[in-house]
Structure 1
Amino acid sequence: EQGLTALMSFAGDSGPKRYLFLSQNPDEVRPTGGFIGTYGVLTAEGGQLTLERYDGIEEWIIDHPRAIVPQAEAGSPFRHRDPPIPRTIANVNSIPDWPRAAELAARLWKDGGEAPVDGVISFTPGFLARILSVVGPVSIPSYNETVTAANLHDRLDFQTHRATPPTGARAKDFVAVVAETIMQKLLEAPASQWEPLGSVMGQAFDAREALAWSTDPQVTAALADRGWDGRFRSTDGDFFYNSEFSYAAKNGRGIRRTYDHNVALRADGSARVTTTVTVTNTLPPDPLNASTLAYLTLYGPKGAVVDQAASDGFGFAEPALAGHPAVAWFRAAAPGGGQATVKVVWEVPGLVKKTSNGELEYSLLWPHLPDHTGDVVNLSVDLPATWTWKGSPPPSQFSLDQEFSGSWRLASGD
Structure 2
Amino acid sequence: MNNSNTSAPLPSENEPRRSSTKRIAGLLILIGLLIFLLWAGLKSWRVYQATRSLMALEPEARSLMSGGIKALNPDAAEALVLRAREDIATLHSELAIVKPLTPYLGWVPRFGPAITGAPYLLEMADAGSEAAVLAVSSLKPALAIIQQPDFGAARMGELLPILSNAAPDLQLAQDSLDRYSAAREGLNSVVEIENLPWRVRQLLELSDQWLPIATDGIRLAPGLPALLGHDGPRNYLILAQNEDELRATGGFITGVGVVTVQDGRIIDLSFRDAYQVDKWAEKPYAFPPQPYYDFLGLELFLFRDANFWPDFPTSAQKAIDLYVYGQGGPQLDGAIAIDQEFLRILVDAIGPVPVPGTDQTINADNLLKTLRAARDIQEGQEVGEWVGNRKAFLGGFAAAILAKIETDFGSIDPVRLARNMTGAAENRHLSIYMTDPNVAAALAENGWDGHIPPTAGGDFWMAVDTNMGYNKVNIFIERAFSYEISLEQSPQALMSIQYRHTGPASDEPCLQGVEEEFEQAAEYLALADKCYWNYLRLYVPAGSQLMESSRHVVPGDTMISGKTWDRGGQVADDLPWLTTFSNFMLVPHAAETTVYFRYQLPPDILESVNGETVYRLSIGKQPGTSTEPTNVSIILPDGAEFIGADPMPTQVEGNRIVYALDLTSDVSLIVRYR
Assess same fold via TM > 0.5.
yes
When residues 241 and 122 of structure 1 are mapped into structure 2, their CA distance, relative to the original with a 3 A threshold, is same
Counterpart in 2 of 1:239? 460
Contact 1:11 1:46 in 2 (8 A): yes
Matches within 5 A, 1:22-171: 22-61=239-278, 65=281, 69-71=285-287, 74-81=288-295, 83-112=297-326, 113-140=328-355, 145-160=360-375, 164=378, 167=381, 168-169=385-386, 170-171=389-390
Structure 2 distance, partners of 1:206, 1:55, is 28
Matches within 5 A, 1:14-413: 14-61=231-278, 65=281, 69-71=285-287, 74-81=288-295, 83-112=297-326, 113-140=328-355, 145-160=360-375, 164=378, 167=381, 168-169=385-386, 170-191=389-410, 193=412, 194-235=414-455, 236-247=457-468, 248-266=470-488, 268=489, 270-284=490-504, 285=506, 287-307=527-547, 309-312=548-551, 313-314=567-568, 316-321=570-575, 323-331=577-585, 333-350=586-603, 353-391=606-644, 392-393=648-649, 394-411=657-674
Structure 2 distance, partners of 1:65, 1:118, is 27
The more displaced of 388-397 and 240-249 is 388-397
When the two structures are aligned, how many residues end up with a matched partner?
403
Contact 1:56 1:173 in 2 (8 A): yes
When residues 43 and 388 of structure 1 are mapped into structure 2, their CA distance, relative to the original with a 3 A threshold, is same
Contact 1:258 1:279 in 2 (8 A): yes
Structure 2 distance, partners of 1:322, 1:183, is 40
Structure 2 distance, partners of 1:293, 1:142, is 40
Structure 1 gap ranges (5+): none
Contact 2:475 2:528 in 1 (8 A): no
Structure 2 distance, partners of 1:67, 1:27, is 31
Q: Residue 35 of structure 1: CA displacement?
A: 0.7
Structure 1 distance, partners of 2:283, 2:610, is 54
Q: Residue 103 of structure 1: CA displacement?
A: 0.9
Q: What are the superposed Cα offsets for residues 312-365 of structure 1, whole Å, 9 maximum, x if unpaired? A: 44474322536320122221x111211122211111131652244331122221
Contact 2:277 2:323 in 1 (8 A): no
Q: Percent of counterpart pairs with the same letter?
A: 27
Partner AA of 2:426 in structure 1: D
Partner AA of 2:447 in structure 1: G
Identify, as 1 or 2, the structure richer in helix. 2
SS at structure 1 position matched to 2:593? strand
Q: Which one has the largest radius of gyration? A: 2
Partner AA of 1:370 in structure 2: P
Q: Residue 143 of structure 1: CA displacement?
A: 6.6
Structure 2 gap ranges (5+): 1-166, 168-218, 507-525, 552-566, 650-656
Contact 2:629 2:662 in 1 (8 A): yes
Q: Residue 303 of structure 1: CA displacement?
A: 2.3
SS at structure 1 position matched to 2:291? helix
When residues 403 and 13 of structure 1 are mapped into structure 2, their CA distance, relative to the original with a 3 A threshold, is same
Structure 1 distance, partners of 2:471, 2:477, is 11
Structure 1 distance, partners of 2:367, 2:240, is 14
When residues 328 and 281 of structure 1 are mapped into structure 2, their CA distance, relative to the original with a 3 A threshold, is same
What root-mean-square deviation, in Å, do the aligned CA atoms of Structure 1 and Structure 2 show?
2.6
Partner AA of 1:303 in structure 2: G
Structure 1 distance, partners of 2:581, 2:241, is 25
When residues 310 and 88 of structure 1 are mapped into structure 2, their CA distance, relative to the original with a 3 A threshold, is closer
Partner AA of 2:301 in structure 1: R
